[in-house]
Structure 1
Amino acid sequence: MTDLQQAHALSFGPVAAQYDAARPSYPAELFDELERLAGRPLKDADVLDVGAGTGIATRLLAARGARVLAVEPSDGMAARLRAVSPRIPVVKGVGDALPFHDGSADLVTYAQAFHWTDPDRSVPEAFRVLRPEGVLALFWNVKDRAVPWLRAQEERLVAALPSYHFYGGVTDAVTWFGEHGVPVERVTLRWERRVTLEGHLADLSSRSYLAVLPSGQRERVLAAERSALAAVFPDGSLTEPYLLDLFVVRRPR
Protein backbone atom coordinates (compact mmCIF):
# COMPACT_ATOMS: atom_id res chain seq x y z
CA MET A 1 0.00 0.00 0.00
CA THR A 2 0.98 3.62 -0.44
CA ASP A 3 1.31 5.74 2.71
CA LEU A 4 -2.09 7.30 1.96
CA GLN A 5 -3.75 3.91 1.55
CA GLN A 6 -2.10 2.68 4.73
CA ALA A 7 -3.40 5.69 6.68
CA HIS A 8 -6.92 5.08 5.44
CA ALA A 9 -6.76 1.34 6.08
CA LEU A 10 -5.54 1.90 9.65
CA SER A 11 -8.24 4.47 10.37
CA PHE A 12 -10.94 1.87 11.00
CA GLY A 13 -9.57 0.45 14.27
CA PRO A 14 -10.25 3.55 16.38
CA VAL A 15 -13.84 3.82 15.08
CA ALA A 16 -14.64 0.09 15.27
CA ALA A 17 -17.52 0.37 17.75
CA GLN A 18 -19.10 3.19 15.78
CA TYR A 19 -18.56 1.27 12.54
CA ASP A 20 -20.32 -1.79 13.93
CA ALA A 21 -23.26 0.20 15.28
CA ALA A 22 -23.84 2.56 12.36
CA ARG A 23 -22.86 0.82 9.14
CA PRO A 24 -25.68 -0.74 7.08
CA SER A 25 -26.31 -4.47 7.15
CA TYR A 26 -27.31 -6.59 4.13
CA PRO A 27 -30.73 -7.85 3.01
CA ALA A 28 -31.50 -11.57 2.91
CA GLU A 29 -31.79 -11.33 -0.90
CA LEU A 30 -28.02 -10.87 -1.12
CA PHE A 31 -27.39 -14.33 0.30
CA ASP A 32 -30.17 -15.86 -1.78
CA GLU A 33 -28.40 -14.53 -4.89
CA LEU A 34 -25.00 -15.64 -3.62
CA GLU A 35 -26.29 -19.20 -3.18
CA ARG A 36 -27.90 -19.13 -6.62
CA LEU A 37 -24.76 -17.93 -8.38
CA ALA A 38 -22.48 -20.20 -6.36
CA GLY A 39 -24.70 -23.17 -7.16
CA ARG A 40 -24.73 -24.36 -3.58
CA PRO A 41 -26.25 -23.45 -0.21
CA LEU A 42 -24.28 -21.56 2.38
CA LYS A 43 -25.28 -24.14 4.97
CA ASP A 44 -22.27 -26.31 5.81
CA ALA A 45 -20.01 -24.35 3.43
CA ASP A 46 -16.49 -23.45 4.58
CA VAL A 47 -16.28 -19.67 4.13
CA LEU A 48 -13.36 -17.29 4.58
CA ASP A 49 -14.76 -13.78 5.08
CA VAL A 50 -11.77 -11.59 4.25
CA GLY A 51 -11.59 -8.03 5.52
CA ALA A 52 -14.38 -9.01 7.89
CA GLY A 53 -14.19 -5.79 9.90
CA THR A 54 -16.51 -6.00 12.88
CA GLY A 55 -18.34 -8.97 11.39
CA ILE A 56 -21.46 -7.36 9.95
CA ALA A 57 -21.51 -9.73 6.96
CA THR A 58 -19.72 -12.52 8.83
CA ARG A 59 -22.59 -12.92 11.27
CA LEU A 60 -25.13 -13.11 8.46
CA LEU A 61 -23.10 -15.78 6.67
CA ALA A 62 -22.95 -17.77 9.90
CA ALA A 63 -26.69 -17.34 10.39
CA ARG A 64 -27.21 -19.03 7.01
CA GLY A 65 -25.40 -22.08 8.37
CA ALA A 66 -21.93 -21.45 6.94
CA ARG A 67 -18.81 -22.49 8.82
CA VAL A 68 -17.31 -19.03 8.56
CA LEU A 69 -13.89 -17.83 9.60
CA ALA A 70 -13.23 -14.09 9.76
CA VAL A 71 -9.97 -12.71 8.37
CA GLU A 72 -9.17 -9.19 9.55
CA PRO A 73 -5.90 -7.19 9.70
CA SER A 74 -7.04 -4.45 12.11
CA ASP A 75 -6.64 -5.24 15.81
CA GLY A 76 -9.37 -2.75 16.70
CA MET A 77 -11.89 -4.17 14.25
CA ALA A 78 -11.06 -7.77 15.20
CA ALA A 79 -11.44 -6.95 18.90
CA ARG A 80 -14.91 -5.57 18.27
CA LEU A 81 -15.84 -8.65 16.22
CA ARG A 82 -14.71 -10.95 19.05
CA ALA A 83 -16.61 -8.90 21.61
CA VAL A 84 -19.86 -8.92 19.65
CA SER A 85 -19.58 -12.43 18.18
CA PRO A 86 -17.32 -14.54 20.42
CA ARG A 87 -18.30 -17.78 18.69
CA ILE A 88 -16.88 -16.69 15.32
CA PRO A 89 -13.17 -17.49 14.95
CA VAL A 90 -10.97 -14.60 13.81
CA VAL A 91 -7.56 -14.85 12.14
CA LYS A 92 -5.30 -11.86 11.58
CA GLY A 93 -4.46 -11.64 7.90
CA VAL A 94 -4.91 -9.85 4.59
CA GLY A 95 -6.32 -10.93 1.27
CA ASP A 96 -3.01 -10.46 -0.50
CA ALA A 97 -1.41 -13.25 1.56
CA LEU A 98 -4.06 -15.54 3.04
CA PRO A 99 -2.75 -17.67 5.93
CA PHE A 100 -4.56 -20.85 4.82
CA HIS A 101 -3.77 -24.11 3.05
CA ASP A 102 -4.52 -24.69 -0.62
CA GLY A 103 -8.05 -25.91 -1.32
CA SER A 104 -9.38 -25.24 2.17
CA ALA A 105 -12.52 -23.17 1.44
CA ASP A 106 -15.74 -23.40 -0.55
CA LEU A 107 -16.18 -19.62 -0.69
CA VAL A 108 -14.02 -16.57 -0.16
CA THR A 109 -16.07 -13.45 0.51
CA TYR A 110 -15.21 -9.75 0.65
CA ALA A 111 -17.86 -7.42 2.07
CA GLN A 112 -16.94 -3.76 1.49
CA ALA A 113 -13.29 -4.82 1.47
CA PHE A 114 -11.94 -6.01 -1.88
CA HIS A 115 -10.90 -2.49 -2.96
CA TRP A 116 -8.33 -2.52 -0.13
CA THR A 117 -6.43 -5.37 -1.83
CA ASP A 118 -4.04 -5.63 -4.76
CA PRO A 119 -5.99 -7.86 -7.19
CA ASP A 120 -2.74 -9.09 -8.77
CA ARG A 121 -2.14 -10.81 -5.44
CA SER A 122 -5.54 -11.20 -3.78
CA VAL A 123 -7.30 -12.92 -6.69
CA PRO A 124 -4.65 -15.66 -7.13
CA GLU A 125 -4.64 -16.09 -3.35
CA ALA A 126 -8.41 -16.57 -3.32
CA PHE A 127 -8.19 -19.10 -6.14
CA ARG A 128 -5.38 -20.91 -4.30
CA VAL A 129 -7.37 -21.47 -1.12
CA LEU A 130 -10.61 -22.35 -2.92
CA ARG A 131 -11.61 -25.93 -3.63
CA PRO A 132 -12.60 -26.99 -7.15
CA GLU A 133 -15.92 -25.30 -8.03
CA GLY A 134 -15.33 -22.81 -5.21
CA VAL A 135 -16.25 -19.16 -5.70
CA LEU A 136 -14.93 -15.74 -4.84
CA ALA A 137 -17.76 -13.35 -3.91
CA LEU A 138 -17.35 -9.58 -3.67
CA PHE A 139 -20.11 -7.27 -2.55
CA TRP A 140 -20.56 -3.61 -1.78
CA ASN A 141 -23.37 -1.52 -0.31
CA VAL A 142 -23.21 1.85 -2.07
CA LYS A 143 -25.62 4.70 -1.39
CA ASP A 144 -27.61 5.55 -4.51
CA ARG A 145 -26.08 8.88 -5.54
CA ALA A 146 -28.73 9.33 -8.22
CA VAL A 147 -31.05 10.42 -5.41
CA PRO A 148 -30.85 14.25 -5.26
CA TRP A 149 -30.01 14.69 -1.58
CA LEU A 150 -27.27 12.05 -1.73
CA ARG A 151 -25.88 13.55 -4.92
CA ALA A 152 -25.74 16.97 -3.21
CA GLN A 153 -24.03 15.42 -0.20
CA GLU A 154 -21.39 13.80 -2.38
CA GLU A 155 -20.67 17.13 -4.04
CA ARG A 156 -20.13 18.70 -0.61
CA LEU A 157 -17.86 15.86 0.53
CA VAL A 158 -15.79 15.92 -2.66
CA ALA A 159 -15.23 19.65 -2.13
CA ALA A 160 -14.35 19.24 1.57
CA LEU A 161 -12.33 16.02 1.54
CA PRO A 162 -9.31 15.67 -0.78
CA SER A 163 -9.12 11.88 -0.34
CA TYR A 164 -12.85 11.19 -0.75
CA HIS A 165 -12.36 8.87 -3.75
CA PHE A 166 -8.68 8.07 -3.39
CA TYR A 167 -8.91 4.27 -3.12
CA GLY A 168 -11.18 3.73 -6.09
CA GLY A 169 -14.46 1.91 -5.91
CA VAL A 170 -16.53 -0.96 -7.18
CA THR A 171 -15.83 -0.31 -10.85
CA ASP A 172 -12.09 0.14 -10.38
CA ALA A 173 -11.77 -3.06 -8.37
CA VAL A 174 -13.78 -5.24 -10.72
CA THR A 175 -12.20 -3.82 -13.89
CA TRP A 176 -9.28 -6.10 -13.07
CA PHE A 177 -11.32 -9.17 -13.98
CA GLY A 178 -12.22 -7.83 -17.41
CA GLU A 179 -8.63 -6.88 -18.13
CA HIS A 180 -7.50 -10.40 -17.22
CA GLY A 181 -10.28 -12.24 -19.03
CA VAL A 182 -11.81 -13.68 -15.86
CA PRO A 183 -15.59 -14.26 -16.17
CA VAL A 184 -17.66 -12.46 -13.54
CA GLU A 185 -21.36 -12.78 -12.77
CA ARG A 186 -22.96 -9.63 -11.40
CA VAL A 187 -26.24 -8.90 -9.66
CA THR A 188 -27.37 -5.48 -8.42
CA LEU A 189 -30.00 -5.29 -5.70
CA ARG A 190 -31.86 -2.22 -4.49
CA TRP A 191 -32.81 -1.83 -0.87
CA GLU A 192 -33.16 0.91 1.72
CA ARG A 193 -33.08 1.54 5.44
CA ARG A 194 -34.68 4.12 7.67
CA VAL A 195 -32.28 5.88 10.05
CA THR A 196 -32.10 8.95 12.21
CA LEU A 197 -30.09 11.94 11.06
CA GLU A 198 -27.57 11.25 13.83
CA GLY A 199 -27.36 7.60 12.79
CA HIS A 200 -26.60 8.68 9.23
CA LEU A 201 -23.85 10.99 10.48
CA ALA A 202 -22.42 8.23 12.67
CA ASP A 203 -22.18 6.00 9.60
CA LEU A 204 -20.55 8.83 7.68
CA SER A 205 -17.98 9.46 10.40
CA SER A 206 -16.91 5.78 10.32
CA ARG A 207 -15.78 6.18 6.69
CA SER A 208 -12.03 6.30 6.22
CA TYR A 209 -12.06 9.64 4.41
CA LEU A 210 -13.45 11.24 7.57
CA ALA A 211 -11.77 9.01 10.14
CA VAL A 212 -8.30 10.05 8.94
CA LEU A 213 -8.97 13.76 9.54
CA PRO A 214 -7.88 15.69 12.63
CA SER A 215 -10.80 15.82 15.05
CA GLY A 216 -11.46 19.54 14.58
CA GLN A 217 -11.67 19.27 10.81
CA ARG A 218 -13.81 16.14 11.04
CA GLU A 219 -16.28 17.86 13.38
CA ARG A 220 -16.55 20.86 11.06
CA VAL A 221 -17.43 18.62 8.12
CA LEU A 222 -19.99 16.73 10.20
CA ALA A 223 -21.51 19.95 11.53
CA ALA A 224 -21.90 21.25 7.98
CA GLU A 225 -23.59 17.99 6.98
CA ARG A 226 -25.88 18.10 10.00
CA SER A 227 -27.00 21.58 9.06
CA ALA A 228 -27.50 20.76 5.36
CA LEU A 229 -29.44 17.56 6.06
CA ALA A 230 -31.58 19.11 8.79
CA ALA A 231 -32.88 21.54 6.17
CA VAL A 232 -33.97 18.58 4.00
CA PHE A 233 -35.15 16.29 6.84
CA PRO A 234 -36.47 18.58 9.59
CA ASP A 235 -38.02 15.66 11.50
CA GLY A 236 -34.57 14.16 12.01
CA SER A 237 -35.15 10.90 10.14
CA LEU A 238 -34.37 9.84 6.59
CA THR A 239 -34.36 6.91 4.20
CA GLU A 240 -31.03 5.78 2.76
CA PRO A 241 -31.39 4.02 -0.62
CA TYR A 242 -28.67 1.51 -1.54
CA LEU A 243 -27.39 -0.21 -4.64
CA LEU A 244 -25.91 -3.51 -3.50
CA ASP A 245 -23.52 -4.99 -6.07
CA LEU A 246 -22.61 -8.68 -5.87
CA PHE A 247 -19.86 -10.13 -8.05
CA VAL A 248 -19.23 -13.86 -8.16
CA VAL A 249 -16.10 -15.37 -9.74
CA ARG A 250 -15.70 -19.12 -10.06
CA ARG A 251 -12.31 -20.69 -9.42
CA PRO A 252 -10.69 -21.67 -12.75
CA ARG A 253 -10.46 -25.40 -13.35
Structure 2
Amino acid sequence: MTADPRARSFDTATAQYASSRPSYPPALLDAVEELSGRRLAGARVADVGAGTGIATALLCARGAEVVAVEPGAAMARRCREALPGVPVVRGDGNALPLAGSSLDLVTYAQSWQWTDPARSVPEALRVLRPGGALAIWWNTTAFDVPWLRAQRERIARATCGTEQPAHRVRPGDADAVRLAGLTGLRVVRRLLRWSRTVSLDVHLANIGSRSAVLVLDEDRRRAFFADERAVLRAGFPDDVVEETYVVDVLVALRP
Protein backbone atom coordinates (compact mmCIF):
# COMPACT_ATOMS: atom_id res chain seq x y z
CA MET A 1 0.00 0.00 0.00
CA THR A 2 3.01 2.25 0.52
CA ALA A 3 6.77 2.28 0.03
CA ASP A 4 7.21 2.75 3.80
CA PRO A 5 9.40 -0.18 5.00
CA ARG A 6 7.22 -0.42 8.10
CA ALA A 7 4.30 -1.54 5.93
CA ARG A 8 6.42 -4.34 4.46
CA SER A 9 7.76 -5.40 7.86
CA PHE A 10 4.67 -7.44 8.78
CA ASP A 11 5.57 -10.16 6.28
CA THR A 12 8.58 -11.00 8.47
CA ALA A 13 6.42 -11.75 11.53
CA THR A 14 3.25 -13.45 10.34
CA ALA A 15 3.16 -16.17 13.00
CA GLN A 16 3.86 -13.68 15.77
CA TYR A 17 1.18 -11.34 14.42
CA ALA A 18 -1.43 -14.12 14.18
CA SER A 19 -0.77 -15.46 17.67
CA SER A 20 -0.42 -12.25 19.65
CA ARG A 21 -2.45 -9.47 18.03
CA PRO A 22 -5.78 -8.67 19.69
CA SER A 23 -9.05 -9.26 17.90
CA TYR A 24 -12.05 -6.91 18.28
CA PRO A 25 -15.12 -6.92 20.54
CA PRO A 26 -18.56 -7.90 19.21
CA ALA A 27 -19.67 -4.30 19.84
CA LEU A 28 -17.45 -3.21 16.93
CA LEU A 29 -19.38 -5.15 14.31
CA ASP A 30 -22.64 -4.09 15.97
CA ALA A 31 -21.50 -0.49 15.48
CA VAL A 32 -20.52 -1.10 11.85
CA GLU A 33 -24.00 -2.47 11.16
CA GLU A 34 -25.67 0.43 12.95
CA LEU A 35 -23.59 3.18 11.38
CA SER A 36 -23.67 1.72 7.86
CA GLY A 37 -27.41 1.09 8.06
CA ARG A 38 -27.30 -2.56 6.98
CA ARG A 39 -26.74 -6.02 8.43
CA LEU A 40 -23.53 -7.88 7.73
CA ALA A 41 -25.37 -11.15 7.05
CA GLY A 42 -25.43 -11.53 3.28
CA ALA A 43 -23.44 -8.33 2.67
CA ARG A 44 -20.65 -8.39 0.09
CA VAL A 45 -17.53 -7.14 1.87
CA ALA A 46 -13.87 -6.55 1.00
CA ASP A 47 -11.51 -6.58 3.98
CA VAL A 48 -8.49 -4.62 2.74
CA GLY A 49 -5.09 -5.04 4.34
CA ALA A 50 -6.53 -8.21 5.82
CA GLY A 51 -3.23 -9.43 7.22
CA THR A 52 -3.64 -12.84 8.83
CA GLY A 53 -7.43 -12.54 8.70
CA ILE A 54 -8.32 -11.38 12.21
CA ALA A 55 -11.11 -9.04 11.12
CA THR A 56 -11.95 -11.16 8.08
CA ALA A 57 -12.87 -14.08 10.34
CA LEU A 58 -15.19 -11.89 12.42
CA LEU A 59 -16.96 -10.57 9.33
CA CYS A 60 -17.43 -14.11 8.03
CA ALA A 61 -18.82 -15.21 11.40
CA ARG A 62 -21.51 -12.52 11.00
CA GLY A 63 -22.58 -14.06 7.71
CA ALA A 64 -20.87 -11.63 5.32
CA GLU A 65 -19.54 -12.76 1.95
CA VAL A 66 -15.95 -11.60 2.31
CA VAL A 67 -12.99 -11.27 -0.03
CA ALA A 68 -9.69 -10.53 1.70
CA VAL A 69 -7.29 -8.12 -0.02
CA GLU A 70 -3.69 -8.25 1.21
CA PRO A 71 -0.47 -6.87 -0.34
CA GLY A 72 2.02 -9.04 1.60
CA ALA A 73 2.79 -12.50 0.23
CA ALA A 74 3.42 -14.12 3.62
CA MET A 75 0.43 -12.45 5.25
CA ALA A 76 -1.85 -13.49 2.37
CA ARG A 77 -0.59 -17.07 2.64
CA ARG A 78 -1.29 -17.10 6.38
CA CYS A 79 -4.78 -15.72 5.78
CA ARG A 80 -5.52 -18.46 3.23
CA GLU A 81 -4.36 -21.11 5.70
CA ALA A 82 -6.50 -19.69 8.51
CA LEU A 83 -9.60 -19.14 6.35
CA PRO A 84 -9.56 -21.68 3.51
CA GLY A 85 -13.10 -20.82 2.43
CA VAL A 86 -12.37 -17.11 1.93
CA PRO A 87 -11.01 -15.74 -1.37
CA VAL A 88 -7.71 -13.94 -0.75
CA VAL A 89 -6.36 -11.68 -3.50
CA ARG A 90 -3.11 -9.77 -3.62
CA GLY A 91 -3.59 -6.03 -3.85
CA ASP A 92 -3.78 -2.84 -1.89
CA GLY A 93 -6.19 -0.03 -1.13
CA ASN A 94 -4.64 2.41 -3.57
CA ALA A 95 -5.63 0.21 -6.54
CA LEU A 96 -8.23 -2.34 -5.51
CA PRO A 97 -8.35 -5.46 -7.72
CA LEU A 98 -12.16 -5.42 -7.52
CA ALA A 99 -15.01 -4.57 -9.88
CA GLY A 100 -16.80 -1.24 -9.64
CA SER A 101 -20.08 -0.99 -7.73
CA SER A 102 -19.72 -4.59 -6.54
CA LEU A 103 -19.62 -4.29 -2.74
CA ASP A 104 -21.82 -3.26 0.16
CA LEU A 105 -18.95 -2.61 2.54
CA VAL A 106 -15.19 -2.04 2.38
CA THR A 107 -13.31 -2.46 5.66
CA TYR A 108 -9.82 -1.59 6.83
CA ALA A 109 -8.77 -3.04 10.21
CA GLN A 110 -5.49 -1.47 11.38
CA SER A 111 -4.50 -0.84 7.76
CA TRP A 112 -5.90 2.48 6.50
CA GLN A 113 -2.75 4.38 7.53
CA TRP A 114 -0.76 2.44 4.93
CA THR A 115 -2.81 3.91 2.08
CA ASP A 116 -2.75 7.26 0.30
CA PRO A 117 -6.26 8.67 0.95
CA ALA A 118 -6.08 10.70 -2.26
CA ARG A 119 -6.15 7.33 -4.03
CA SER A 120 -7.75 4.95 -1.54
CA VAL A 121 -10.89 7.02 -0.90
CA PRO A 122 -11.83 7.21 -4.62
CA GLU A 123 -11.02 3.51 -4.93
CA ALA A 124 -13.33 2.61 -2.05
CA LEU A 125 -16.10 4.73 -3.54
CA ARG A 126 -15.54 3.13 -6.94
CA VAL A 127 -16.07 -0.44 -5.73
CA LEU A 128 -19.00 0.37 -3.42
CA ARG A 129 -22.58 0.13 -4.52
CA PRO A 130 -24.85 3.18 -4.00
CA GLY A 131 -25.64 3.28 -0.30
CA GLY A 132 -22.54 1.24 0.55
CA ALA A 133 -20.09 2.16 3.28
CA LEU A 134 -16.39 2.39 4.02
CA ALA A 135 -15.47 1.34 7.59
CA ILE A 136 -11.99 1.87 9.00
CA TRP A 137 -10.92 1.07 12.54
CA TRP A 138 -7.99 0.65 14.87
CA ASN A 139 -7.42 -0.89 18.27
CA THR A 140 -5.87 2.05 20.13
CA THR A 141 -4.43 1.72 23.61
CA ALA A 142 -6.40 3.22 26.51
CA PHE A 143 -3.85 5.69 27.79
CA ASP A 144 -5.88 6.66 30.84
CA VAL A 145 -4.49 3.38 32.24
CA PRO A 146 -1.22 4.59 33.86
CA TRP A 147 1.00 1.59 33.11
CA LEU A 148 -0.05 1.55 29.46
CA ARG A 149 0.62 5.25 29.13
CA ALA A 150 4.09 4.84 30.69
CA GLN A 151 4.83 1.92 28.38
CA ARG A 152 3.86 3.92 25.30
CA GLU A 153 6.34 6.62 26.30
CA ARG A 154 9.08 3.98 26.59
CA ILE A 155 8.18 2.61 23.15
CA ALA A 156 8.21 6.13 21.68
CA ARG A 157 11.71 6.66 23.04
CA ALA A 158 12.95 3.27 21.83
CA THR A 159 11.63 3.88 18.31
CA CYS A 160 12.87 7.47 18.19
CA GLY A 161 9.36 8.84 17.80
CA THR A 162 8.25 6.46 15.03
CA GLU A 163 5.68 5.21 17.54
CA GLN A 164 4.04 8.41 18.77
CA PRO A 165 3.89 9.25 22.48
CA ALA A 166 0.59 8.76 24.27
CA HIS A 167 -0.50 12.40 24.35
CA ARG A 168 -0.51 12.59 20.52
CA VAL A 169 -2.50 9.47 19.73
CA ARG A 170 -6.27 10.13 19.71
CA PRO A 171 -7.55 13.27 17.92
CA GLY A 172 -11.02 14.80 18.23
CA ASP A 173 -13.78 13.84 15.81
CA ALA A 174 -13.21 16.57 13.22
CA ASP A 175 -9.45 16.00 13.20
CA ALA A 176 -9.94 12.23 12.98
CA VAL A 177 -12.05 12.65 9.83
CA ARG A 178 -9.55 15.10 8.33
CA LEU A 179 -6.51 12.96 9.15
CA ALA A 180 -8.20 9.93 7.60
CA GLY A 181 -8.75 11.87 4.38
CA LEU A 182 -12.53 11.54 4.62
CA THR A 183 -13.42 15.24 4.56
CA GLY A 184 -16.47 15.85 2.38
CA LEU A 185 -18.07 12.49 3.09
CA ARG A 186 -20.79 11.76 5.63
CA VAL A 187 -18.78 10.16 8.44
CA VAL A 188 -19.75 8.87 11.87
CA ARG A 189 -17.22 7.98 14.55
CA ARG A 190 -17.59 5.59 17.47
CA LEU A 191 -15.14 4.82 20.30
CA LEU A 192 -15.52 1.40 21.96
CA ARG A 193 -13.62 0.41 25.07
CA TRP A 194 -12.70 -3.23 25.76
CA SER A 195 -9.94 -5.32 27.29
CA ARG A 196 -8.28 -8.73 27.22
CA THR A 197 -6.11 -10.59 29.74
CA VAL A 198 -2.98 -12.24 28.36
CA SER A 199 0.33 -13.62 29.52
CA LEU A 200 3.34 -11.34 29.66
CA ASP A 201 4.88 -13.28 26.76
CA VAL A 202 1.84 -12.68 24.54
CA HIS A 203 1.77 -9.01 25.51
CA LEU A 204 5.42 -8.56 24.59
CA ALA A 205 4.94 -10.49 21.35
CA ASN A 206 2.06 -8.16 20.49
CA ILE A 207 4.32 -5.15 20.97
CA GLY A 208 7.00 -6.87 18.92
CA SER A 209 4.59 -7.30 16.01
CA ARG A 210 4.19 -3.54 15.59
CA SER A 211 5.86 -2.02 12.57
CA ALA A 212 7.84 0.57 14.52
CA VAL A 213 9.44 -2.21 16.55
CA LEU A 214 9.86 -4.69 13.70
CA VAL A 215 12.10 -2.28 11.79
CA LEU A 216 14.48 -1.76 14.72
CA ASP A 217 17.88 -3.37 14.35
CA GLU A 218 18.32 -6.61 16.27
CA ASP A 219 20.51 -5.21 19.06
CA ARG A 220 18.13 -2.33 19.83
CA ARG A 221 15.12 -4.62 19.71
CA ARG A 222 16.72 -7.17 22.03
CA ALA A 223 17.77 -4.46 24.52
CA PHE A 224 14.31 -2.89 24.50
CA PHE A 225 12.55 -6.17 25.26
CA ALA A 226 14.98 -7.12 28.01
CA ASP A 227 14.35 -3.79 29.73
CA GLU A 228 10.59 -3.92 29.11
CA ARG A 229 10.23 -7.43 30.50
CA ALA A 230 12.05 -6.36 33.67
CA VAL A 231 9.81 -3.30 34.10
CA LEU A 232 6.61 -5.29 33.59
CA ARG A 233 7.63 -8.17 35.84
CA ALA A 234 8.12 -5.70 38.65
CA GLY A 235 4.52 -4.54 38.22
CA PHE A 236 2.98 -7.89 37.26
CA PRO A 237 4.81 -10.61 39.21
CA ASP A 238 2.28 -13.26 38.11
CA ASP A 239 3.23 -12.58 34.45
CA VAL A 240 -0.38 -11.76 33.53
CA VAL A 241 -1.48 -8.36 32.21
CA GLU A 242 -4.77 -6.78 31.21
CA GLU A 243 -4.50 -4.86 27.95
CA THR A 244 -7.16 -2.16 27.62
CA TYR A 245 -8.12 -0.82 24.22
CA VAL A 246 -10.38 1.74 22.62
CA VAL A 247 -11.50 0.74 19.13
CA ASP A 248 -11.66 3.91 17.05
CA VAL A 249 -14.05 3.31 14.16
CA LEU A 250 -15.03 5.67 11.33
CA VAL A 251 -17.83 4.77 8.91
CA ALA A 252 -18.25 6.83 5.73
CA LEU A 253 -21.30 6.40 3.54
CA ARG A 254 -21.06 6.40 -0.23
CA PRO A 255 -22.97 9.41 -1.62
TM-score range normalised by the length of the shorter chain: over 0.9
How many residues align structurally? 249
Root mean square deviation, CA, Å: 1.9
* Correspondence for 1:183 among 176, 181, 186: 186
Question: CA shift at 1:50, angstroms?
Answer: 0.4
**How far off is 1:160 after superposition?**
1.3
| Conserved? CA contact 2:2–2:115, under 8 Å | no
Q: Distance in 2 between matches of 1:192 and 1:78?
A: 27
Please name the residue that 1:42 is paired with.
40
Query: Which residue of 222, 233, 236 maps to 1:233?
Result: 236
Q: Give the percent of matched residue pairs that are identical in Structure 1 and Structure 2.
A: 52
Deviation at 1:116, TM superposition (A): 0.7
The Cα shift of 1:39 comes to 1.1
Tell me, yes or no, if the aligned pair for 1:103 and 1:132 is still in contact at 8 Å: yes
Deviations along 1:39-62, one digit per CA (max 9) or x if unpaired, are 111011000000000000000000
- Asked whether the 8 Å contact 1:190–1:242 carries over to 2, the reply is yes
List runs of 5+ in structure 2 lacking aligned partners.
none
Give the letter for the 1:140 counterpart.
W
Please give the alpha-carbon distance, in whole angstroms, between the structure 1 residues aligned to 2:205 and 2:131: 40
Q: Tell me the equivalent position of 2:137.
A: 139
Which one of the candidate residues 78, 87, 97 is aligned to 2:76? 78
1:117 aligns with 115
Alignment-derived partner of residue 206 in structure 2? 203
Give the secondary structure class of the aligned counterpart of 2:121: helix
The question of whether the paired residues in 2 share the 8 Å contact of 1:72 and 1:94 is answered with yes
The alignment's TM-score, normalised by the length of structure 2, stands at 0.93
**Contact 2:110/2:138 (<8 A) preserved:** yes
> 1:2 offset after TM fit, Å?
7.1
- The CA distance in 1 between the partners of 2:164 and 2:146, in whole Å, is 19
Take 1:170 and 1:21, find their aligned partners in 2: how far apart are those partners? 26
What's the TM-score once normalised by structure 1's chain length? 0.93
**Which of 204, 214, 220 is the equivalent residue of 2:217?**
214
Q: Give me the whole-angstrom Cα distance separating, in 2, the residues matched to 1:2 and 1:87.
A: 28
Deviation at residue 178 of structure 1 after TM alignment? 7.2
Q: Deviations over 1:61-96 (max 9, x none)?
A: 001000000000000111111111111110100101
Of 134, 141, 151, the residue aligned with 1:153 is 151
What is the one-letter code of the residue matched to 1:114?
A: W
Q: Assess, with a 3 A threshold, how the Cα gap between structure 1 residues 192 and 251 changes in structure 2: closer, same or farther.
A: same
Which blocks of at least 5 consecutive residues in structure 1 are unaligned? none
Residue number in structure 1 paired with 2:57: 59
Per-residue deviation, residues 151-181 of structure 1 (Å, max 9, x unmatched): 1111111111122239x96647632467732
| 1:224 equivalent in structure 2 | 227
**2-side partners of 1:150 and 1:165: how far apart?**
13
